[in-house]
Amino acid sequence: MVGVHMTPETGAALRAKFLLCRPLGQEAVRTAAIYRVVADRLAREGGETLRFDYHGTGDSPGDEGHQSLAPWVDDVLAAHELLAQGDHAPVHWFGMGLGANIALRAALRAKTPPAQLVLWEPVFNGKAYAQALKDGHRAELVRMFRVSWERLLAAGKVAEPQLPGNLLGFEFGPQLSDDLLQMTDLNLLPALRRGIRVICAVHAEHRTVFETLGAPSQLKLHTVESRTDWMSSQAMGTAIAPPDIPRTLISTLE
> What DSSP string runs through 60-108?
S-S-GGG--HHHHHHHHHHHHHHHHTTS---EEEEEETHHHHHHHHHHT
* Shared-domain flag, residues 87 and 197: yes
Distance separating alpha carbons of residues 251 and 239, to the nearest angstrom: 21
- pTM of the shown model: 0.95
Say whether both 97 and 10 belong to one domain: yes
Which of 146, 94, 91 minimizes the C-alpha distance to 121?
A: 94
Considering the domain architecture, whether residues 43 and 138 belong to the same structural domain is answered as no
pLDDT at position 232 is 81
- CB-CB contact of 98 with 123 (8 Å): yes
pLDDT of residue 238: 56
pLDDT in the model for residue 212: 81
The residue out of 184, 205, 225 marking a domain boundary is 184
Q: How many domains does the chain have?
A: 2
**With 0-12 CB in 10 A as exposed, 13-18 as middle and 19+ as buried, what is 58?**
middle
- Give pLDDT, residue 236: 61
Both 134 and 8 in one domain: the answer is: no
145 and 84 part of one domain: no
Residues of the chain whose pLDDT is less than 70? 234-240
Task: Specify whether 192 is located in the same domain as 84.
Answer: yes
The range of the structural domain enclosing residue 78 comes to 2-124+186-251
Whether 75 and 160 map to the same domain: the answer is no
What is the 8-class DSSP label of residue 227? -
